[in-house]
Amino acid sequence: MYEIVEGFLEAIRLIVTLDPNVMAIAVRSIIISLTATIIASLFAIPLGAAINFGTFPGRKSLINLIQTLYSLPTVIVGLLIFLLISRVGPFGFMRLLFTPTAMIIAQTVLIIPIMTGLTISALSGVDPVIRDTLRSLGATKLQFLTNVIKEARFAILATVAVGFGRAISEVGAAILVGGNIAAASFASSTRVLTTAISLETSMGNISQSIALGIVLLVIALGVNLAIAAVQHR
């Protein structure tokens, strides 16, 4: 019990003094997961729109498949990307294994299904009368799409937040393809909040783990508060 209290106090000190090690890991986590979220958005939002407004055979099954992939285990994604980019894999020549890029790829793949699915929900949630109104006002196909997305902007923003939350909080893929490396340079290190917590805890550095855990929580909470603030404006 004493250890936990002491660890907690030490964690507060690390955060308040902006401990360089903790901050570096936090900033790296944000950069990697934010990049993954942006890339995933570029795929998931247009894909979600195409599936929502498209009429093609197997549309319902595809939506079901996407929804099933919401619970895609992170280690499975990690394993898949690992196999693809390891030395013997088809993309081994790119030397991506144990780099931040590999982590971005893994997180992107991980969150595309949930972001696509939630985009479909967001767009299908737009009032049919609004859609009819856009068409009756003489919208071209592109004007129609951009305006429906605009109308669903808050729900889509929430989708992005969910994607970011899942990316920054996952540990399985990050450790498999990132390797939790603390290299000399910031850019080639792959130690992020989740992998660091995992490592520090196993090494008995409870205070370090708690500090990193608090930072992770604050980031997740901050993103959601920011989204809520925009939605209620």
Q: Is 228 in the site for other proteins (CB under 8 A)?
A: no
d(CA 165, CA 71): 14
Measured from the CB of residue 140, what is the shortest distance to other proteins in angstroms? Answer: 7
Closer by beta carbon to other proteins, 151 or else 170:
151
143 part of the interface to other proteins, by CB under 8 A: yes
127 binds other proteins (CB under 8 A): yes
Contact between 135 and other proteins by CB under 8 A: the answer reads yes
| One residue of 3, 133, 188, 203 binding other proteins per CB under 8 A | 133
55 near other proteins, judged by CB under 8 A: no
**Residue closer to other proteins (CB basis): 13 or 153:** 153
Estimate to the nearest angstrom the gap between the alpha carbon of 202 and the chain centroid: 25
Query: Is residue 232 a contact residue for other proteins (CB under 8 A)?
Result: no
Q: What is d(CA 186, CA 199) in angstroms, rounded to the nearest whole number?
A: 18
Output the six-digit token pair for 147.
Answer: 């305006």
- Is 123 within 8 Å of 148 (Cβ atoms)? yes
Structure tokens at 191: 């130690």
Tell me whether residue 13 or residue 135 sits nearer to other proteins (CB atom). Answer: 135
CB 92 within 8 A of CB 85: yes
**Which pair of structure tokens corresponds to residue 145?**
């799409």
The window from 70-78, 136-144, 163-171, 184-192 that contacts other proteins (CB under 8 A) reads: 136-144
State the Cα–Cα distance between residues 118 and 45, nearest whole angstrom: 9
Pick the closer one to other proteins by CB: 52 or 207: 52
The nearest distance, CB 86 to other proteins, in angstroms, is 48
Residue 185 DSSP class: S
Q: Does 221 bind other proteins (CB under 8 A)?
A: no
For the beta carbon of residue 34, count every other beta carbon within 10 angstroms. 16
Select 87 or 233, whichever has its Cβ closest to other proteins. Answer: 233
Q: Which of 42, 132, 183, 222 touches other proteins (CB under 8 A)?
A: 132
Residues 6+ apart with CB under 8 A from 19: 211
Q: How far is the CB of 144 from other proteins (least distance, A)?
A: 9
Q: Does 17 bind other proteins (CB under 8 A)?
A: no
- Minimum CB distance to other proteins smaller for 70 or for 154: 154
Structure-block tokens of residue 160 = 């992005």
**Residue 47 is encoded by which pair of tokens?**
């894909």
Q: Amino acid letter at 126?
A: V
Question: 189, 29 in Cβ contact below 8 A?
Answer: no
Contacts with other proteins by CB under 8 A lie at 127, 129-130, 132-140, 143, 147, 150-151, 154
